[in-house]
Chain A
């Protein structure tokens, strides 16, 4: 048998782009380590910040608990976005599907009980997903347009349904539902108290850790736990099963998938339905955990923030959790001692900017580096000049953060290659 002597090197004579790994810290096996390291460092940094600035609420268990509740709907919405985009469908309609979910929780929760509320939220979200799937996958409508349409429809539908069903009920009206029965929460009594003592002692890092653990075992809503479990389940399903591989292939190269016998349209359709379900569940969390009834305007743009968290997380569940945590945290700080905590964060931003600028200059990008350092200095000035950040600016912190993340990280992100592509069956080969 004749064997050519030269074909031993795996990479051909024309090597492809090298060294991409460095640009994608969040992917692959090394990615997981980065995640954990990042989390640990981030937490330690917060602890330092707390001690330096005296803003105690930065890491109190109350804050962390509130953060968990705040990050839940964002994360679930982001998961919805992730499922859809991994299959190649952009879902801007997450906000609308979340609104449908809040209504579902309100109506079914009040009428049939707490768990019915959860199912109702998911179901209504899936109806929104059904419309989006039909429009984009079956009729080939542009994904963004369909998403915008869903948001318009959902808002109108929910307002219409609310005035149809909630008016006349005790505590209800055209813009809110009656109180929904609560879902169970988990509290591990003795552990909680013990940790509480540790927290009050203001020890560097130890107390902060104690707050974290305390928040996890005190009044932790079952739904939040379910949400986190779903996150892990999503990772497992999408990256460790044949089903997940096929779904992801639809978002990376639908024509390759189809040429290998994958029912691309079916996977896309299913993924969007699942996406709607997640968004609906996010709405359910909003209505049943973050508050106790459906209220008009409850979602406040979290569907979009969820999308931003997904982008921040580079379309991976781990990163999504980090992003949701970031946004949830910023939102929580805004609601609590808002002004002082955000002011403390300004210091962190200033430091990051200066460090980042130095790194850029070292990499010979002097203009960008100089600008970044300049921004850092400005922010530091602001920090020293003011006592607390005005309420309005605190409210917009999550959105500004999103913009900044997008502006600086956009080019390092790796979106599914065929995301947003309107795919026609039979385009293979």
Chain B
């Protein structure tokens, strides 16, 4: 696995610092990336990894520090500078035009290199073959799956002669088989003498493919591990978080026998051969939190939307106590007692340009206190919003402020308060503390635990292990739309969870 290490690092970052108003994103970062290696950068959400990579790619300028590429100091004012220095970036959110072919996407902006016709096509096939990317130039990007699109992004970068490739959370949207393919490609790149920088917070994956690992915490480098075989995921996690893995809740169990939500044979066809949800059946009892673990893109979002009635093509039965909601509209399901904390609060949970009291009404337009017989009672809505602001510690000058002006944590607290105020029977919490500051996160966890104690059933979707293990009474792992493993949070190991989530050991 190791090539003779050249003296000069492919990329050397020294003393990199970057501030945003009110936030220190990067502080005195020092990293050396050697040629012919895969170098991983790990850290929690919000540790500063993405900012660092944007600096390396010229999208942001650092406030302090230097960047050296192959021994020469460079100043990156724009992606064009980075490309000239031989640095290529594969973004987390692919930058591809669906309606154009692979060829067109690759040559865009680099038409001078090999033209836009036969020569370019030839070059693409060459690169694709030498790195086993398996990319066809004349396919429409729209027809490609996620893994293939990522390979197109890699090819884009190679086409422009990059010798250093940065991948930002590349496995976030891949299913396990695609992850394996990707790592195979990365090893191929490394063997050709490229330097691969890989940002991730998936410790198992990082350990399986990286030659060197740099841990970042709170914007600064903690350490660089040069021999990954000497550390475990747990060690890495400790370095990342600064403490041990979360303990499961030691509170007395509140789970009862009464079934509140019963889902039978829930299925949702996809656009291809593989269904998005594949015959799911499960129950949630009064006082129980069911946690759904899984790599993003395996059906969690679809599961939530199907239960909320937002997916027309879903089949199967959904019963809330004894009401059959299988063909009910979203409004009816909400009114029957489902509260919903959406994954993307800006798109699904809030009206950003409306005041908080109107956001209180959102999703509850059919019921008091906000609405009586079709008329909106502004005073009652404001009163109730004040109550929520108080009970859920939403930091805001008043209920008339626009939702947009609140921080993510406070927005989320408002949403939690609103959904709980509807006296739900079932609470669906999808990634409830994503993008939320630590203080608000603790508060929200408390509220969810309170809900459980008061007899709700909670469906919790999360990618945060802390959250899943700390809150759930039972964990189900979802993979390719199917449940593949049931675990007890108090004695599950990260390895067991990780294996189930990645399908290792199960039929791939």
User: Which of A12, A17, A255, A428 interacts with B148 by CB under 8 Å?
Assistant: A12
- Give the shortest distance, in Å, between B178 (CB) and chain A (any CB): 6
* Contact digits for B89-102, partner A, Cβ 8 Å, 1 yes 0 no: 00101011111100
- A1 and B147 form a contact (CB under 8 A): no
From known contacts A17-B271, A249-B100, infer whether A7 and B132 are also in contact, taking CB-CB under 8 Å: yes
Q: Is the C-beta of B496 less than 8 angstroms from some C-beta in chain A? A: no
From known contacts A13-B178, A417-B98, A428-B59, infer whether A2 and B191 are also in contact, taking CB-CB under 8 Å: yes
A-B contacts, 25 of them at CB < 8 A, read A2-B188, A3-B184, A7-B184, A11-B145, A12-B151, A13-B177, A13-B178, A14-B272, A16-B144, A17-B272, A20-B142, A241-B116, A242-B115, A245-B111, A252-B97, A252-B100, A253-B97, A256-B108, A257-B108, A260-B108, A261-B80, A261-B83, A416-B99, A429-B59, A429-B95
- B142 and A246 form a contact (CB under 8 A): no
Chain A residue with the shortest CB-CB distance to B271: A17
User: Which of A1, A259, A414 interacts with B91 by CB under 8 Å?
Assistant: A259
Q: Is the C-beta of B187 less than 8 angstroms from some C-beta in chain A? A: yes
- B145 and A15 form a contact (CB under 8 A): yes
User: Which of B54, B83, B142, B185 interacts with A7 by CB under 8 Å?
Assistant: B185
- B148 and A11 form a contact (CB under 8 A): yes
- A8 and B272 form a contact (CB under 8 A): no
Query: Which residues of A lie under 8 Å from residue B96 when comparing CB positions?
Result: 253, 256
Query: Which residues of B lie under 8 Å from residue A255 when comparing CB positions?
Result: 95
Q: Is the C-beta of A190 less than 8 angstroms from some C-beta in chain B? A: no
- A10 and B136 form a contact (CB under 8 A): yes
Chain A residue with the shortest CB-CB distance to B57: A429
Query: Which residues of B lie under 8 Å from residue A6 when comparing CB positions?
Result: 177, 180-181, 184
A390 to B134: give the CA distance in the assembly, Å: 62
A22 to B187: give the CA distance in the assembly, Å: 39
- Give the shortest distance, in Å, between B113 (CB) and chain A (any CB): 11
Give the bracket for the number of chain B residues in contact with chain A. 35 or more
Q: Is the C-beta of B273 less than 8 angstroms from some C-beta in chain A? A: yes
* Contact digits for A255-272, partner B, Cβ 8 Å, 1 yes 0 no: 111011110000000000
Query: Which residues of A lie under 8 Å from residue B91 when comparing CB positions?
Result: 259, 429
Q: Is the C-beta of A170 less than 8 angstroms from some C-beta in chain B? A: no
Q: Is the C-beta of B274 less than 8 angstroms from some C-beta in chain A? A: yes
- Give the shortest distance, in Å, between A408 (CB) and chain B (any CB): 22
User: Which of B104, B110, B144, B191 interacts with A11 by CB under 8 Å?
Assistant: B144
A261 to B83: give the CA distance in the assembly, Å: 10
- B108 and A246 form a contact (CB under 8 A): yes
Q: Is the C-beta of A201 less than 8 angstroms from some C-beta in chain B? A: no
Given contact pairs A14-B146, A16-B271, A246-B108, a sample of 6 additional A-B residue pairs in the complex whose CB atoms are under 8 Å apart: A2-B187, A14-B147, A246-B109, A256-B97, A428-B59, A429-B54
* Contact digits for B271-313, partner A, Cβ 8 Å, 1 yes 0 no: 1111000000000000000000000000000000000000000
User: Which of B57, B116, B142, B149 interacts with A245 by CB under 8 Å?
Assistant: B116
* Contact digits for B217-258, partner A, Cβ 8 Å, 1 yes 0 no: 000000000000000000000000000000000000000000
B-to-A contact residues, CB < 8 Å? 54, 57, 59, 78-80, 83, 91, 93, 95-100, 104-105, 107-112, 115-116, 132-136, 139-140, 142-149, 151, 156, 175, 177-178, 180-181, 183-185, 187-188, 191, 271-274
Chain A residue with the shortest CB-CB distance to B182: A7
Q: Is the C-beta of A411 less than 8 angstroms from some C-beta in chain B? A: no
- A4 and B134 form a contact (CB under 8 A): no
- A16 and B145 form a contact (CB under 8 A): yes
Q: Is the C-beta of A248 less than 8 angstroms from some C-beta in chain B? A: yes
A261 to B57: give the CA distance in the assembly, Å: 13
Chain B residue with the shortest CB-CB distance to A18: B272
- Give the shortest distance, in Å, between B156 (CB) and chain A (any CB): 8
User: Which of B83, B99, B143, B274 interacts with A17 by CB under 8 Å?
Assistant: B143
- Give the shortest distance, in Å, between A140 (CB) and chain B (any CB): 16
Q: Looking at A14, A20, A261, which has the most chain B CB atoms within 10 Å of its CB? A: A14
Name the interface residues of A148-191: CB closer than 8 Å to any CB of B: none
Query: Which residues of A lie under 8 Å from residue B187 when comparing CB positions?
Result: 2, 4
A368 to B133: give the CA distance in the assembly, Å: 45
From known contacts A11-B144, A245-B111, A259-B91, infer whether A4 and B97 are also in contact, taking CB-CB under 8 Å: no
Name the interface residues of A1-54: CB closer than 8 Å to any CB of B: 1-4, 6-18, 20
- A12 and B180 form a contact (CB under 8 A): no
- A253 and B98 form a contact (CB under 8 A): yes
- B143 and A245 form a contact (CB under 8 A): no
- Give the shortest distance, in Å, between B97 (CB) and chain A (any CB): 4
Query: Which residues of A lie under 8 Å from residue B273 when comparing CB positions?
Result: 15
Chain B residue with the shortest CB-CB distance to A20: B143
A249 to B110: give the CA distance in the assembly, Å: 13
- B191 and A1 form a contact (CB under 8 A): yes
- Give the shortest distance, in Å, between A135 (CB) and chain B (any CB): 22
- B109 and A260 form a contact (CB under 8 A): yes
Query: Which residues of A lie under 8 Å from residue B109 when comparing CB positions?
Result: 246, 257, 260-262
From known contacts A242-B111, A429-B59, infer whether A248 and B100 are also in contact, taking CB-CB under 8 Å: yes
- A260 and B99 form a contact (CB under 8 A): no
- A256 and B95 form a contact (CB under 8 A): yes
A42 to B144: give the CA distance in the assembly, Å: 36
Query: Which residues of B lie under 8 Å from residue A253 when comparing CB positions?
Result: 95-98
Query: Which residues of A lie under 8 Å from residue B80 when comparing CB positions?
Result: 261
Q: Looking at A7, A257, A414, which has the most chain B CB atoms within 10 Å of its CB? A: A7
- A3 and B98 form a contact (CB under 8 A): no
A371 to B70: give the CA distance in the assembly, Å: 70
Query: Which residues of B lie under 8 Å from residue A242 when comparing CB positions?
Result: 107, 111-112, 115-116
Name the interface residues of A334-372: CB closer than 8 Å to any CB of B: none
A120 to B111: give the CA distance in the assembly, Å: 35
- A13 and B145 form a contact (CB under 8 A): yes
From known contacts A242-B116, A256-B105, A261-B83, infer whether A10 and B146 are also in contact, taking CB-CB under 8 Å: no
A15 to B54: give the CA distance in the assembly, Å: 31
- A245 and B107 form a contact (CB under 8 A): yes
Query: Which residues of A lie under 8 Å from residue B145 when comparing CB positions?
Result: 11-16
Query: Which residues of B lie under 8 Å from residue A245 when comparing CB positions?
Result: 100, 104, 107-108, 111, 116
A7 to B182: give the CA distance in the assembly, Å: 9
Chain A residue with the shortest CB-CB distance to B104: A245
Query: Which residues of A lie under 8 Å from residue B108 when comparing CB positions?
Result: 245-246, 249, 256-257, 260, 262
Chain A residue with the shortest CB-CB distance to B78: A261
A18 to B116: give the CA distance in the assembly, Å: 26
A252 to B96: give the CA distance in the assembly, Å: 9
- B99 and A252 form a contact (CB under 8 A): yes
A429 to B133: give the CA distance in the assembly, Å: 23
User: Which of A7, A248, A416 interacts with B134 by CB under 8 Å?
Assistant: A7
- B97 and A249 form a contact (CB under 8 A): yes
Query: Which residues of A lie under 8 Å from residue B180 when comparing CB positions?
Result: 4, 6
A37 to B106: give the CA distance in the assembly, Å: 33
A190 to B80: give the CA distance in the assembly, Å: 61
A428 to B107: give the CA distance in the assembly, Å: 18
Chain B residue with the shortest CB-CB distance to A253: B97
- A1 and B144 form a contact (CB under 8 A): no
Chain B residue with the shortest CB-CB distance to A29: B138
- Give the shortest distance, in Å, between A267 (CB) and chain B (any CB): 12
Chain A residue with the shortest CB-CB distance to B192: A1
A14 to B481: give the CA distance in the assembly, Å: 13
- B178 and A12 form a contact (CB under 8 A): yes
A4 to B91: give the CA distance in the assembly, Å: 24
- A259 and B148 form a contact (CB under 8 A): no
- A12 and B97 form a contact (CB under 8 A): no
User: Which of B175, B183, B188 interacts with A1 by CB under 8 Å?
Assistant: B188
Query: Which residues of B lie under 8 Å from residue A416 when comparing CB positions?
Result: 99
- B181 and A4 form a contact (CB under 8 A): yes
A249 to B133: give the CA distance in the assembly, Å: 24
- B107 and A13 form a contact (CB under 8 A): no
Query: Which residues of A lie under 8 Å from residue B79 when comparing CB positions?
Result: 259-261, 428
Query: Which residues of B lie under 8 Å from residue A20 when comparing CB positions?
Result: 140, 142-143
Query: Which residues of A lie under 8 Å from residue B100 when comparing CB positions?
Result: 245, 248-249, 252
